[in-house]
C-alpha cells in the first residue's frame, strides 16, 4: 500500500425514518429526534483518530451511506467534507456521493448537498410501482421517486438509483416492463439488486411462515439474465454483479472496495481497511449509535474491533471482492498479497468448464460463472 493509491472515506449515518422489512443494514429509527450537532462533533472527533492511523492520504472518494444520509442537514455534510479536506487531502477529481431517499422533504435539500460539495447522488427508489413500494416499506410513491430523480439530475452531473427485483409475485414480463421504464429515466448508473431474505428481518419471518413467496431459483436466474441483457443493450453494462454504468461512470468508491484498496469508515457500525507497516487491518465500530457516540466522546473513537489480516485472509478478501467485478482480478497481485498462487490445475478445470476466463495474469468469471459466483469463489479459495 502506497500513499498514492486510491483511498476512500466512508461516513455512516445510521438513522432512518422507518425500518424497511427487508433491510438488515445497521440502521435505526429514533422517533424522539437526534442531536445532530452532538453526532457531528462525534464524526469530527473519530475522523481525527483515523487521520492519525492513516496520515498523509489523498482521498479519492467520499461516500455518505446509511441509514439515510439525506436526513443530515447540508451544513453537517459540508462540515464533514471540510474536515476531511483539512486533515487529509481531497483529490481535485474526487467522487463525493450521498445516498438519498426520494421523498419530497429530502429532495428539498438536493441543492444544499450540491453546494456542500457532493457531486454524485444515489437514490434509493427500489421499485417503480406503488404496490411494490408499500410492500417494501418505502415511504415514497413512484411518481414522487421520478420527480426526485428529475430534480437530482438538474443538480448533479452524476446520478444513480437503486431498484430491487425478484420481488414477491414478480413475473419476468413485469420486470422487463419496469426495467425498461427505469432505463428510460436512467442517468449514468443503476444498482439493481436481487431481493435476498436476510436473517432477523420481518421478511425472513414471513418467508419462514410461508406468507412471503419470492421467485424460485429458475425464475430468479431468468430475471438476472434479463437485467444483464437489457442494461447491456441500453449502454449500461454490468461492471459488478449488481451494478451497471455507462463506461467511465462506475462508482469509484465502490470500485475501491472491490479492488481491495484502503478506506476509513467513521460512524456507528462503519468498517475500515487500513494498511500500516505493510499489514492490512480490518476495523469496525460499535453498531449502536448512542453507544458509539459515548465511546467517541470518552476515547476519541468508537472502534470495537481491530484485526490484523493474515496474508491468506487478505488474499481471500481480494478474491471474494474482485471476482464480483466484470474486470476480474490480477493473479499476480493475488499471489503477492497471499504469498502463494492459485492451483493451475484448478484454474484449468474451471476454465474448461466455462466458468472462468484466464488471460495472462488476469482472471475473471464468465457469464456462466457469475451465475454460480459464490460456489466458484469457494472452489478457487479451497
For the stretch 173-202, pLDDT in tens is 999 999 999 999 999 999 999 998 899 998
Are 212 and 325 in a shared domain?
A: no
Cα 263 from Cα 284, distance rounded (Å) = 12
If you average pLDDT over residues 31-38, what whole number do you get? 93
- Asked if residue 88 belongs to a domain, the reply is yes
Are 214 and 363 in a shared domain?
A: no
- Where is pLDDT greater, at 33 or 298? 298
Are 238 and 321 in a shared domain?
A: no
Are 95 and 236 in a shared domain?
A: yes
Average pLDDT, the chain: 94
- Asked if residue 64 belongs to a domain, the reply is yes
- Asked if residue 90 belongs to a domain, the reply is yes
| Per-residue model confidence (pLDDT) at position 90 | 97
User: Where does a domain end: 233, 256, 279?
Assistant: 256
Are 203 and 54 in a shared domain?
A: yes
| Per-residue model confidence (pLDDT) at position 339 | 80
The answer to whether residue 72 scores a pLDDT higher than 70 is yes
- Asked if residue 291 belongs to a domain, the reply is no
Are 65 and 212 in a shared domain?
A: yes
pLDDT tens string 164-178: 999 998 999 999 999
pLDDT tens string 281-340: 999 999 999 999 999 999 999 999 999 999 999 999 999 999 999 999 999 999 999 888
- SS3 of residue 191 by DSSP: strand
| Per-residue model confidence (pLDDT) at position 103 | 86
The answer to whether residue 2 scores a pLDDT higher than 90 is no
If you average pLDDT over residues 41-54, what whole number do you get? 98
| Per-residue model confidence (pLDDT) at position 106 | 83
User: Residue 4: which pLDDT band, with cuts at 50, 70 and 90?
Assistant: confident
**In total, how many domains does the chain have?**
2
| Per-residue model confidence (pLDDT) at position 32 | 85
pLDDT tens string 152-161: 999 999 999 9
Question: How would you class 360 by CB atoms within 10 Å of its CB: exposed for 0-12, middle for 13-18, buried for 19 or more?
Answer: exposed
- Asked if residue 40 belongs to a domain, the reply is yes
| Per-residue model confidence (pLDDT) at position 285 | 98
Are 40 and 183 in a shared domain?
A: yes
Cis peptide before 67 (omega within 30 of 0): yes
pTM attached to this predicted model: 0.95
Cα 247 from Cα 238, distance rounded (Å) = 10
Weakest-pLDDT range from 56-60, 92-96, 212-216? 212-216
Domain that holds residue 93: 7-256
% of the chain exceeding 90 in pLDDT: 83
If you average pLDDT over residues 126-155, what whole number do you get? 94
Are 139 and 214 in a shared domain?
A: yes
Are 22 and 153 in a shared domain?
A: yes
- Cβ proximity of 164 and 22 under 8 Å: yes
Query: Quick one: how many helices (H) and strands (E) in the chain?
Result: 16, 17
Q: Residue 337: which of 364, 361, 360, 313 has the closest Cα?
A: 313
Residue 222's CATH number: 3.20.20.70
Are 64 and 187 in a shared domain?
A: yes
pLDDT tens string 227-266: 999 999 999 999 999 999 999 999 999 999 999 999 999 9
The answer to whether residue 355 scores a pLDDT higher than 90 is yes
| Per-residue model confidence (pLDDT) at position 180 | 98
User: Where does a domain end: 240, 256, 272?
Assistant: 256
Are 252 and 315 in a shared domain?
A: no
Buried b (16+ CB within 10 A) or exposed e, 37-50: eebbebbbbbbebb
User: Where does a domain end: 218, 234, 256?
Assistant: 256
The answer to whether residue 1 scores a pLDDT higher than 60 is no
Residue 349's CATH number: 1.10.10.920
Are 74 and 160 in a shared domain?
A: yes
- Asked if residue 282 belongs to a domain, the reply is no
| Per-residue model confidence (pLDDT) at position 3 | 62
- Asked if residue 95 belongs to a domain, the reply is yes
- Asked if residue 74 belongs to a domain, the reply is yes
Strand arrangement of the beta sheet that strand 238-240 belongs to = 238-240, 243-245, 189-194, 158-165, 120-126, 89-100, 58-66, 7-13, 262-266, 271-276, 279-285, 303-308
Grid coordinates of 278:
505493510
The answer to whether residue 223 scores a pLDDT higher than 60 is yes
Amino acid at each position: 500500500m502506497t500513499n498514492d493509491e486510491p483511498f476512500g472515506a466512508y461516513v455512516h449515518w445510521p438513522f432512518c425514518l422507518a425500518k424497511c422489512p427487508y433491510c438488515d443494514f445497521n440502521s435505526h429509527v429514533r422517533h424522539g429526534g437526534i442531536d445532530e450537532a452532538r453526532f457531528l462533533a462525534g464524526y469530527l472527533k473519530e475522523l481525527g483518530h483515523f487521520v492519525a492511523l492513516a496520515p498523509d492520504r489523498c482521498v479519492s472518494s467520499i461516500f455518505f451511506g446509511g441509514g439515510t444520509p439525506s436526513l443530515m442537514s447540508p451544513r453537517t455534510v459540508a462540515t464533514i467534507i471540510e474536515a476531511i479536506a483539512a486533515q487529509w487531502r481531497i483529490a481535485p477529481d474526487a467522487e463525493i456521493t450521498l445516498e438519498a431517499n426520494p421523498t419530497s422533504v429530502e429532495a428539498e435539500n438536493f441543492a444544499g448537498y450540491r453546494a456542500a460539495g457532493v457531486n454524485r447522488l444515489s437514490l434509493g427508489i427500489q421499485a417503480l410501482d406503488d404496490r411494490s413500494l408499500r410492500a417494501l416499506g418505502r415511504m415514497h410513491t413512484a411518481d414522487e421517486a421520478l420527480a426526485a430523480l428529475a430534480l437530482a439530475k438538474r443538480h448533479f452531473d452524476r446520478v444513480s438509483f437503486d431498484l430491487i427485483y425478484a420481488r414477491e409475485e414478480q413475473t419476468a414480463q413485469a420486470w422487463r416492463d419496469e426495467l425498461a421504464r427505469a432505463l428510460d429515466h436512467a442517468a449514468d448508473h443503476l444498482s439493481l439488486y436481487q431481493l435476498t431474505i436476510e436473517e432477523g428481518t420481518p421478511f425472513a419471518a414471513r418467508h419462514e411462515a410461508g406468507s412471503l413467496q419470492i421467485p424460485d431459483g429458475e425464475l430468479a436466474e431468468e430475471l438476472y439474465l434479463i437485467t444483464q441483457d437489457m442494461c447491456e443493450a441500453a449502454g449500461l453494462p454490468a461492471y459488478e454483479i449488481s451494478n451497471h454504468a455507462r463506461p467511465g461512470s462506475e462508482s469509484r468508491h465502490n470500485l475501491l472496495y472491490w479492488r481491495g484498496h484502503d478506506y476509513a469508515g467513521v460512524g456507528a457500525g462503519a468498517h475500515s481497511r487500513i494498511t500500516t507497516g505493510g499489514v492490512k487491518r480490518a476495523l469496525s465500530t460499535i453498531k449502536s449509535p448512542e453507544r458509539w457516540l459515548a465511546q467517541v466522546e470518552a476515547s476519541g473513537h468508537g472502534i470495537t474491533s481491530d484485526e490484523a489480516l493474515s496474508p491468506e485472509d487478505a488474499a481471500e478478501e481480494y478474491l471474494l471482492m474482485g471476482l464480483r467485478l466484470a474486470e476480474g482480478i490480477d493473479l499476480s497481485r493475488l499471489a503477492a498479497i497471499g504469498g502463494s498462487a492459485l492451483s493451475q490445475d484448478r484454474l484449468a478445470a474451471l476454465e474448461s468448464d466455462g466458468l472462468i476466463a484466464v488471460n495472462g495474469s488476469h482472471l475473471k468469471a464468465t457469464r456462466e460463472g457469475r451465475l454460480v459466483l459464490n460456489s466458484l469463489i469457494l472452489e478457487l479459495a479451497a
